[in-house]
A and B are shown apart, each in its own frame.
Chain A
Amino acid sequence: MESLNQEMLRNVFHVLPELVWCVFGVFLMLLQPFLKNRQALTFLALLGSAIGTLITFFTFMGPGFSGLIQFDTFALFFHWLIGLVAFLVILSSDSYLQRENLDAAEFYALILFATAGMGVLSSAQELLTAFIGLEMSSISSYILAGYRRDSIKASESAVKYFLLGSFATAFFLYGIALVYGVAGSTNLAALANVDPNGTLLRMGLTLILVGLGFKVAMAPFQIWTPDVYEGAPTPVTALFSAGPKAATFALLLRIFSTIHAATDYWFWAFWILAVLTMFVGNLGAIVQSNVKRMLAYSSIAHAGYTLVAFAAITFVRPDPNLVSAAYAAVLFYLASYALVSVGAFTIVSEIGGQGERYLTYDDYAGLGTRQPFAAAGLTLFLLSFLGLPITAGFFGKLYIFTAAIKSNLVWLAVFMAINSVIGAYYYFRLIVVMYMRDHKGPVAESAANTLSPTAAMVVTVAALITLYLGLAPNHILGIVLSQPLMLSAR
C-alpha cells in the first residue's frame, strides 16, 4: 500500500505543470462569484501560467503513469513554449476583456485548461492519453471561440469549429482503434515492433494524420481556419495559431518518429500535404482584405512550411544526424512562429477596437504615423513571417530549407521558395499600407489610440524574442539539440 502511494506520488511529479494549470483554472472558476476585479483575476491567471511553466524545473523526467506520459527534453521544450504563449495571451487579453466587457475568470480558466491539454498532448506517449489532451484543449477552444456570445461571427466560429472539430476527433479515434488492432496496444512504443508497411497500420495512421491535420490546419483539412480565426476573439486567435498548433505538431512528431524505417508512403504523404498546404495558405492569403483572415491563411501556409521538415524527417529516417537536424528545424520553427504570431495578433486585437470593427487593410493605412510603436512592432513580426534576416522567422525558414536540401528534397525546397515569394507579397503589402498610404476619411477612435500597457508589454516581449532568435539562434537550438531528440520509443 505504501509503495503504491509513493508510486502515485511519483507519477504526479511527471505532470506538475498540467496540474498547476488545472488547479489555477479551477481556482479562478471558484473565485469568479466573489472576485469582480478583473486585474486581480488577470494577475492570478498570469501567476498560474507562470508557475506552471517554471515548475517544469521540478518535474520528473522520464516515463510516468506506467508509460502513458513521457516527460523528456522534447516535452519540456513544448511546455515552455505553450506556457509562454499562454502567459502572453492572458496578458494581451486583459485590455481586450475590458474593452469588450466580457467575464474574465472563465476566459482565463478556459485558457489554462486548454494549456493543460496541450501540455498533455506534447508529453503523451500513449494514444488515448493524447486523445484526452486533445479533447481538453479542443473543448476549451470551442468555448473560447464563441466567447463573444452576442457576436454572430463568434457564434459561427464556435459552431463551425465544434462540428468540424468533433468530426476530426472521430477520425482520430477511429485511427487509434485501427492502430490498436494492429499493435495490440495504444502505447507508441508498441508501434516500433509493427511492420510499418502493413495496410491496417497505414490506414490507422492515415486516419490519425487526418484528425491531427485538422488541428494544425493543413490542407485539405484547413477549410475551417479562416472563419474560426476571424470570428474568435483575437487573443484567442493568437492562442489557436500558436498553442494547439505547436502541441499537435509535437504529437505528430512523436507518432511518426516511432514508426521504423523510411517508408515511401509517409514521405509522399507529407510531401503532397506540404506542397498543398503551402499553396492553399499563400494563395488564399493574397486575396484577403481583412488582416485577421490574412493572418489565418498565413498560419495555414506556415503549417505547410513545417510539413516540409516532416517530409524531410520521413525521408531520411535511417540517418540519425539528418533526422535530428530536421527535428531541430521543426521545433525552432514552431517556437518562432508561435511567438511572432502572438505578437502580431495582439496588435491586431488592439487596433480592432470595440467589437473588432477595424480589421481591414484600409484601417491600417497611415498606422506608421498614428501609432509608430504598433506599426513598428507589426512590421517586425511581418518581416519575421516573411523570413527576412535578423528575425526569428529567417532562421526558422533557413533550418527547414537546410533540412529539405540535406535530404535532397530540392524540389520541395524550390516550392517553399516560390511560396516565400508569394508570402512576401501580402506581408509586404500590409507594411506598405501602414507606412506609405494615408488614411482616408476620419480615423476611428480605437484605431488612433496607442496600445494598452499590457498589450505593449506583450508586443515588446515578442519583438525582443523575435530579434533574439534572429541574432543568436544558437542558444535555443542548443537546448533543442542538447539531448538527441530521438524520442525514447526508438
Chain B
Amino acid sequence: MALGGHLLTFLIFFPGVSALALLWLRGEDEVWIRRFTFVASTVEFLASLLLLRAVPIGQSHYSLEEFSRWISAPTINYHLGVDGISMFLVILTTFLTPICVLASWKGVHHRIKEFHVMLLLLEVGVVGVFLSLDLFLFFLFWEVMLIPMAFLIGIWGHDRRIYAAIKFVLYTMTGSIFMLVGIIWLYNHTGTFDLPTIQAMLHSGQLVLSERTETLLFLAFFVAFAIKVPLFPLHTWLPDAHVEAPTAGSIILAGVLLKMGTYGMIRFCLPLFPDASHRAAPWVAALAIIGIIYGALVALVQPNLKKLVAYSSVSHLGFVVLGIFAFHEISMQGAVYQMLAHGISTGALFLLVGMLYDRRHTFEISEYGGLCAPMPRFAAFFLFVALSSMGLPMLNGFVGEFLILLGTYQHHWNWAAWAATGVILSACYLLWSYQRVFYGDITHEKNRELQDISPRENWSLVVMSIVILWMGIGSPFFTRRFEAPCKTLLQEMNPNVMHEAGIRPPLAVTGGVRTTISTERLASR
C-alpha cells in the first residue's frame, strides 16, 4: 500500500513538516516562500488523490485504518481511517490550499513566512479532523486548527480583524468545550474514545443511553457543530470572520472549515445519538430552513460584496443541514455533495471577490459597476461561478440542491417546499449583484483602468471552473463513492429501515464491519 500503509499519517503531517521546513527559509525570500508552499501543498494534493484508489467503491467501512496507542490514561489511541465521505472532504481541503497560496500571491505583503506557516498548520488541523476516528484525536485537531485560523484573520485581515478573530475564537471555543464535556462523559461510560468501538457498543446494547442523557449529549455535540456550520441563530460570527479575513482565509473558511460542522453531524451526532437526532430533526430542520431563507434575504440587501457571499454560505449550508436531518439516503448524499460543491463554488466566489479587492481595495458594490468593459474575462468567470453557486443545471450546485430537495420531499414535502424558496432567492441575490457590479455604466473613473486577470489568476480560475463543470456533469463519479457510507449510516440509525434492508441484497454489496454488527443485532431480536 502507498507509503507503507501510512498514507493518512502522511496526509496529516506533511503540511506540518513543510511548515517547519518553511521556518528555515529567510523571511526576505518572499518568492521562494510562496513557491515552496505552493509545491508542498500541491504534493499534498497529489498524495491525497491516492485516496481515490485506496477507498473501494461501495464499501461502507473505513479504509487505510491506522491504529496505535498514544496515551494510556485515559486511553487515547491514534486511530485514523477514511471512507467515501471524508475522502472527498480531505481532497477538497488539499485542493483549496494551493489555490489559497496563489490567491494570496499579491494580496499578502507582510509577514509572508508566518502567513504560509499558518496556512499549512491550518491544513494539518483540518485534514486531521476529517481523518480521526478517535473522539479525542478529533477534538484535538478541532481545537488545534482554531489558532492558525484566528491568526490568519487577526494578522492579515482587514480593518475590524481583531474583533472578528476574537469573536471567531470565542464562538468556537464555547461550542467545543461543551463537546469536550460530552466526549469525556462518553469516555467514562464506555472506557474508550474510539468511535467504531463506541458505535459497536451502542449496537450491541452494551451502552444504553437514557432519553434525557442522549438528548443532552446530542446537544453537547450538536451545538459545537452548529456553531461551525453555522446554523441560524448561531451564525453571527461568520459574516465578521469572512469579511475581515484575507482572501485565502475566506476560501479555507468557507470551503472547508464550515464543512467540519456538517461532517461532524454526519460522523458523530447521527451514529452516536440516533434517537435524539430523530427527535431533534424537526427543530433542526426548522432552523435550517430559517437559515436558508434568512441567509438569502440578508444576502439580497447587502451593500458589501464579500458579506453577500458570506450570507449566501449561511443559506447554502442550511441546505446541507436540512439534507442531513431529512434522514433520506438521497438527501444525505445530496448533503455530502452540496458540501463539496459549496466548497468549490463559494471558494471560487471568494477568490474572485478577493481579486476585485486586490485591485480596488473595497468590497462595496456601489463602488463598482460596468466592470464588463475593462475586465471581460473576469466577468465571464464570475458569471460562471455565480451560476454554479445558484444551482444552474449542468453545474455543481444544482446536483447537491436537487438531491437534497428530492430526498427531503420523500419524507417531508413541506420542508422541501420551504427550502426551495432559497433556490429562487439565491438566483435573485446573485444575479442582482452581478448586474450591479458588471453591467451598467462605469460610475467610478478608477474602474476604467482595471486590469483583467493575470495568467496566475487565470490558471486558478480555470482549474476551479473545470472542477465546477465536471462536478455538474460527472456527478456519479462522486456519489458512487459516498453512496454506501450514507446508506449504511441511515440503516444503522433506524431499526425499522435496518430490518427491511437486512433482507434486501444490497447489503451484501455494502458488507463491512458495521453491517455485520447490525445483522447480529437483528438476529438477537
* Residues of A participating in the B interface, judged by any CB pair closer than 8 Å: 328, 369, 383, 388-390, 398, 401-402, 405-406, 410, 413-414, 417, 420-421, 424-425, 428-429, 432, 435-437, 472-474, 477, 481
Contact = CB atoms under 8 A, between A and B. Distances in A.
Contacts of A390: 140, 144
A388 B162 contact: no
B74 interface: yes
A424 B173 contact: yes
A388 B142 CA distance: 10
Contact of B166 (A383, A413, A425, A472): A425
B166 A405 contact: no
Contact of B143 (A389, A417, A429): A389
A389 B74 contact: no
Contact of B151 (A429, A435, A437): A435
Contacts, number: 75
Interface in B130-161: 139-140, 143-144, 146-147, 150-151, 154-155, 161
A436 B165 contact: yes
Contact of A435 (B154, B180, B184): B154
Given A388-B147, A405-B181, A425-B170, 14 more contacts: A383-B147, A398-B74, A401-B181, A405-B185, A417-B181, A420-B177, A421-B173, A421-B177, A429-B166, A435-B154, A436-B151, A436-B161, A436-B165, A481-B73
B197 interface: no
Given A421-B177, A428-B150, A410 B185 contact: yes
B166 A432 contact: yes
Contacts of B144: 388-390
A432 B170 contact: no
B72 interface: yes
**Interface majority SS on B: helix, strand, loop or mixed?**
helix
Contact of A436 (B74, B147, B154, B177): B154
A424 B146 CA distance: 12
B72 A474 contact: yes
Contacts of B177: 417, 420-421
B166 A428 contact: yes
B71 interface: yes
A233 B463 CA distance: 60
29 contacts: A328-B73, A369-B111, A383-B147, A388-B146, A389-B140, A389-B143, A389-B144, A398-B180, A401-B180, A401-B184, A402-B74, A402-B187, A402-B188, A405-B184, A406-B188, A410-B185, A413-B181, A417-B178, A417-B180, A421-B177, A424-B170, A432-B162, A436-B161, A436-B162, A436-B165, A473-B71, A474-B73, A477-B73, A481-B73
A368 B144 CA distance: 20
Which 4 A/B pairs are nearest by Cβ-Cβ distance? A436-B154, A389-B140, A417-B177, A424-B173
A278 B144 CA distance: 25
Interface of B: 71-74, 111, 139-140, 143-144, 146-147, 150-151, 154-155, 161-162, 165-166, 169-170, 173-174, 177-178, 180-181, 184-185, 187-188
A424 B143 CA distance: 12
B172 to A, nearest CB: 9
B361 to A, nearest CB: 19
B143 A388 contact: yes
Contacts of B143: 388-389
A302 to B, nearest CB: 16
Contact of B174 (A328, A421, A435, A437): A421
Contacts of B150: 428
Contacts of B73: 328, 474, 477, 481
Contact of B162 (A328, A405, A413, A437): A437
A436 B147 CA distance: 13
Q: Which of B73, B154, B155 is most buried by chain A, counting CB atoms within 10 A of its CB?
A: B73
B432 to A, nearest CB: 35
B36 to A, nearest CB: 20
A405 B188 contact: yes
A273 B421 CA distance: 54
Contacts of B71: 472-474
A429 B162 CA distance: 9
A432 B154 contact: yes
A352 B165 CA distance: 27
A421 B146 CA distance: 14
Contacts of B146: 388
A421 B166 contact: no
Contacts of B169: 424, 428
A77 B178 CA distance: 32
Contact of B155 (A436, A474, A477): A436
Nearest to B139: A389
Nearest to A402: B184
Contacts of A474: 71-73
Nearest to A322: B188
A323 B183 CA distance: 21
A304 to B, nearest CB: 15
B415 to A, nearest CB: 33
A414 B184 CA distance: 12
A427 to B, nearest CB: 10
A435 B117 CA distance: 15
A437 B165 CA distance: 12
Contacts of A369: 111
B157 to A, nearest CB: 8
A281 to B, nearest CB: 17
A398 B143 CA distance: 13
A314 to B, nearest CB: 19
A305 to B, nearest CB: 13
A437 B154 CA distance: 9
A390 B147 CA distance: 12
B72 to A, nearest CB: 6
Contacts of A413: 181, 184
A479 to B, nearest CB: 12
Q: Which of B154, B177, B185 is most buried by chain A, counting CB atoms within 10 A of its CB?
A: B177
A410 B184 CA distance: 10
Contacts of A383: 147
B168 to A, nearest CB: 10
A411 to B, nearest CB: 11
Nearest to B111: A369
Contacts of A477: 73
Contacts of B162: 432, 436-437
